[in-house]
C-alpha cells in the first residue's frame, strides 16, 4: 500500500535519477515504471523472463561480487531458484528488494565509477605495458625477500562502493613491510588523540633515508612513516597488554580494514627481520636514550612487535580493500562497517602524502599527487580519496626502495585520469578523463538513498548510510523522513533501527503527519506497537 506522501518521495527519488543537468518536468514514476527500468539492466530471455545468473552477471559488470556481504540477502533469495529457472519480473524484484539500494545504484550505473569496465580495461592496459619494464632489483637483505620472483606483478583496486578489479598476481601473499606503518599509525591514533600521539613522533618529512639514525630538532622521530617513527608508534599501541594481545589487536584491525578477511603472517620473514636488525636496534636504543618512548616501554619487545608487524602478509586483493577503507574515510566499502574515525584517516593520508614514499615522497606528491605507502617487498598502497584504493605489487625496487613498476603504473594512471590532487583546477588539464561520478550527485544521493532504503525495508542499506555519517533525521522536500517511509510501508525492523538510533520519533511532514499516522493509515500493527512504545504521537493533521 502506498500513501500519498511516499508516492511523492518516490517521484522525487526517480526525478533525481533522470540523466541530464536540467531538472526534468515532474513526472509521476510509479513503482512499476521504476521496476521496469531496473530490470531493463538485466538480460531477459525471449519470453521476457530472467535467468538467475542475469543478476550476478550484471553486478559483476560493475565490479560487484556475488559473495559481497552487502548482497547476502538477495543472493540467498536467488539461490532458492534452480540455476536453469527463468524468473518473472515480480520474482526478480522480490529477490532484489532486501538489498535494493546497492543493487539499484549498481544497475542504474550510479556507483562511484559508473563505467567500471572501461576503467578496468585501461588498468589492464597499463599493467600490460609496465610489465615489460624489467629494471630494478629485488630486496635481498633477507633471504625470504631475495627469493621472490621479480616477474610477480599484480594490481588490485577497490572503489568506495566496493567495486573490485584485479589483474596479474593478485592472490599471492607478500609481507606488507613498511605498508604496516600507516596502518599502525591509524591504530595508535584510534587509541591516543593526535596531540598525545605526536608528543612522541613528529610529522615532517625527514629528507633522510627511511632507516637513518637521526631524530628531529626536538629529539623525536621525524614521522610515523619511517622506521624510527614506526618503532615509536609500536610502543604506543596497547602498551599495557601482553605482546600476544597487542599483535592480535593489529591483526584484527588488518582483517576489519580488509573487509573481514584475515591477514597472514610469515614467521620466516619475522625471524629473518629480527636477525638482521642491527640498524633498527640502534634506532631503538638511540630513541630510548632521548626519551622518545612512554615510561615503562620494554625496548626489545617493542622492536619484536615492529618486526612482527612488518611480517604480516597480504595479497593485492586484500590490500586494495584496506586502501579503499582509507579512501572511504575509515568505512570499509565491502562490509559497510566503520573501522577508523575520519580524523584518523585524515591524519594518516596527510602523512602518506608527504612522507609515504621514502626519499621520493616530495617527487611523488608533485607528479602523482596521491597519498601512498610503499614497502620493501615491492608493495605499494595508493589511495584516491573518495574514489578508490589501489594495491600494486611488483618486487623489483628502484634505488630509493620503491617498486619500479608500482611507480610506472601510478604515472601512467595519473596521465590518463584526473586523480592528481590538483587536477581539478581545470584549464589545461581538461584532456584528462574523470571516471568518477560528480560530487553533486553524491550529495543528492544521501537523502534519496535514505528514503529509498527505508521504503524498501533495506536495513543493510540504512546501516551503510549510518556508517557514512548520514543523518537519519533528514527529510525530503515534503518533510518526509526515512521513519515516515518505513512506517507507511510497514517495515518493522527498519522502524526499530531508526528508533534504536534515537531519531526524532514525531517529525511532521508538510501535511502535518507523523510516522504513527502513516502506520495507522497502512494498518501496520507491528510498526504501531514499536512506535507507541517509543512514545510516538499522532500528528492530528487533516487526513487527505
Residues that bind ligand GLN (CB under 6 A): 177-178, 210-211, 227, 273, 280, 310, 375-376, 401
Nearer to ligand GLN, 41 or 225 (CB): 225
CB of 391 to ligand GLN, least distance (A): 15
Nearer to ligand GLN, 400 or 541 (CB): 400
Nearer to ligand GLN, 227 or 418 (CB): 227
Nearer to ligand GLN, 211 or 496 (CB): 211
Q: Mapped to the 3 state alphabet, what secondary structure does 124-185 carry?
A: HHHHHHHHCCCCCECCCCCHHHHCCCCCCCEEEEEECCCCEEEEECCCCCEECHHHHHHHHH
CB of 402 to ligand GLN, least distance (A): 9
CB of 401 to ligand GLN, least distance (A): 6
What separation in angstroms does the CA of 364 have from each of 360, 402, 404, 421? 6, 11, 13, 11
Nearer to ligand GLN, 51 or 375 (CB): 375
Grid coordinates given for 219: 629529539
Nearer to ligand GLN, 177 or 464 (CB): 177
The CA-to-CA distance between both ends of the chain, in Å, stands at 15
CB of 157 to ligand GLN, least distance (A): 22
- Which distant-in-sequence residues (6+ apart) come within 8 Å of 197 by Cβ? 188, 189, 236
- Which distant-in-sequence residues (6+ apart) come within 8 Å of 155 by Cβ? 123, 126, 127, 166, 167, 168, 170, 316, 390, 391, 392, 393, 409
CA 460 – CA 493 distance, rounded (Å): 11
The three-class DSSP label of residue 519 is helix
CB of 281 to ligand GLN, least distance (A): 11
Nearer to ligand GLN, 273 or 313 (CB): 273
CB of 376 to ligand GLN, least distance (A): 3
Nearer to ligand GLN, 161 or 398 (CB): 398
User: Quick one: which of 151, 150, 148, 153 has its CA closest to 126?
Assistant: 153
Nearer to ligand GLN, 259 or 401 (CB): 401
Beta strands 174-175 and 264-265 are: unpaired
Order of strands across the sheet that contains 372-374: 164-168, 154-159, 388-393, 379-384, 372-374
What separation in angstroms does the CA of 428 have from each of 422, 425, 431? 12, 9, 7
CB of 323 to ligand GLN, least distance (A): 16
Q: Mapped to the 3 state alphabet, what secondary structure does 300-333 carry?
A: HHHHHHHHHHHCEEECHHHHHHHHHHHHCCCEEC
Nearer to ligand GLN, 310 or 339 (CB): 310
- Residue 265 β-bridge partners: 312
CB of 298 to ligand GLN, least distance (A): 19
Nearer to ligand GLN, 71 or 312 (CB): 312
* 146, 139 Cβ separation under 8 angstroms: yes
CB of 141 to ligand GLN, least distance (A): 8
CB of 280 to ligand GLN, least distance (A): 5
CB of 213 to ligand GLN, least distance (A): 13
Nearer to ligand GLN, 54 or 303 (CB): 303
CB of 353 to ligand GLN, least distance (A): 18
- Which distant-in-sequence residues (6+ apart) come within 8 Å of 472 by Cβ? 450, 462, 465, 466, 481, 482, 483, 498, 501, 503
Residues 251, 162, 358: CA angle, nearest 5 degrees? 55
* 334, 71 Cβ separation under 8 angstroms: no
Amino acid at each position: 500500500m502506498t500513501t500519498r506522501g511516499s508516492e511523492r518521495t518516490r517521484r522525487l527519488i526517480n526525478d533525481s535519477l533522470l540523466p541530464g543537468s536540467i531538472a526534468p518536468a515532474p513526472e509521476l514514476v510509479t513503482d512499476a515504471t521504476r521496476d521496469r527500468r531496473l530490470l531493463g539492466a538485466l538480460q531477459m530471455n525471449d519470453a521476457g523472463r530472467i535467468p538467475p545468473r542475469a543478476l550476478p552477471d550484471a553486478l559483476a559488470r560493475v565490479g560487484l561480487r556475488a559473495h559481497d556481504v552487502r548482497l547476502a540477502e538477495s543472493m540467498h533469495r536467488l539461490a532458492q531458484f534452480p540455476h536453469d529457472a527463468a524468473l518473472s519480473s515480480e520474482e526478480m524484484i522480490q529477490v532484489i528488494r532486501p538489498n535494493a539500494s546497492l543493487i539499484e545504484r549498481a544497475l542504474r550505473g550510479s556507483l562511484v565509477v559508473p563505467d567500471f569496465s572501461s576503467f578496468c580495461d585501461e588498468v589492464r592496459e597499463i599493467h600490460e605495458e609496465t610489465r615489460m619494464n624489467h629494471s630494478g632489483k629485488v630486496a635481498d637483505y633477507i633471504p625470504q625477500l631475495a627469493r621472490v620472483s621479480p616477474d610477480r606483478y599484480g594490481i588490485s583496486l577497490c572503489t568506495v562502493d566496493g567495486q573490485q578489479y584485479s589483474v596479474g598476481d593478485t592472490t599471492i601473499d607478500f609481507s606488507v613491510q613498511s605498508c604496516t606503518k600507516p596502518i599502525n599509525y591509524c591504530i595508535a591514533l584510534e587509541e591516543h588523540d593526535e596531540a598525545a600521539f605526536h608528543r612522541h613522533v613528529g610529522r615532517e618529512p625527514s629528507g633522510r633515508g627511511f632507516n637513518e639514525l637521526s631524530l628531529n630538532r626536538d629529539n623525536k622521530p621525524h614521522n610515523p612513516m619511517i622506521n624510527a617513527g614506526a618503532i615509536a608508534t609500536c610502543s604506543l599501541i596497547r602498551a599495557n597488554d601482553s605482546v600476544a594481545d597487542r599483535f592480535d589487536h593489529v591483526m584484527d584491525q588488518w582483517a576489519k580494514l580488509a573487509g573481514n578477511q584475515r591477514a597472514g603472517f610469515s614467521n620466516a620473514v619475522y625471524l629473518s627481520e629480527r636477525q638482521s636488525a642491527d640498524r633498527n636496534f640502534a634506532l631503538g636504543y638511540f630513541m630510548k636514550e632521548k626519551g622518545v618512548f612512554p615510561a615503562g616501554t620494554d625496548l626489545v619487545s617493542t622492536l619484536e612487535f615492529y618486526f612482527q608487524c612488518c611480517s604480516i602478509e597480504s595479497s593485492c586483493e586484500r590490500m586494495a580493500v584496506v586502501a579503499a577503507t582509507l579512501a572511504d574515510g575509515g568505512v570499509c566499502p565491502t562490509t559497510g562497517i566503520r573501522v577508523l574515525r575520519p580524523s584518523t584517516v585524515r591524519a594518516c593520508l596527510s602523512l602518506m602524502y608527504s612522507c609515504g614514499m621514502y626519499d621520493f615522497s616530495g617527487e611523488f606528491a608533485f607528479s602523482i599527487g596521491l597519498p601512498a605507502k610503499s614497502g620493501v617487498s615491492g608493495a605499494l598502497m595508493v589511495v584516491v580519496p573518495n574514489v578508490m584504493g589501489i594495491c600494486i605489487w611488483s618486487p623489483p625496487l628502484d634505488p630509493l626502495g620503491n617498486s619500479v613498476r608500482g611507480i610506472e603504473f601510478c604515472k601512467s594512471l595519473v596521465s590518463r585520469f584526473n586523480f592528481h590532487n590538483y587536477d581539478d583546477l581545470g584549464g589545461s588539464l581538461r584532456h584528462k578523463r574523470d571516471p568518477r561520478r560528480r560530487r553533486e550527485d553524491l550529495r543528492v544521493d544521501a537523502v534519496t538513498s535514505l528514503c529509498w532504503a527505508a521504503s524498501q525495508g533495506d536495513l543493510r542499506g540504512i546501516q551503510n548510510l549510518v556508517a557514512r555519517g548520514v543523518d537519519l533525521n533528514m527529510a525530503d522536500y515534503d518533510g518526509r523522513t526515512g521513519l515516515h517511509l518505513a512506517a507507511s510501508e510497514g517495515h518493522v525492523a527498519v522502524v526499530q533501527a531508526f528508533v534504536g538510533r534515537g531519531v526524532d520519533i514525531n517529525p511532521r511532514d508538510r501535511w502535518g503527519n507523523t510516522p504513527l499516522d502513516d502506520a495507522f493509515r497502512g494498518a501496520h500493527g507491528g510498526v504501531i506497537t514499536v512506535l507507541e512504545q517509543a512514545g510516538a504521537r499522532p500528528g492530528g493533521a487533516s487526513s487527505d
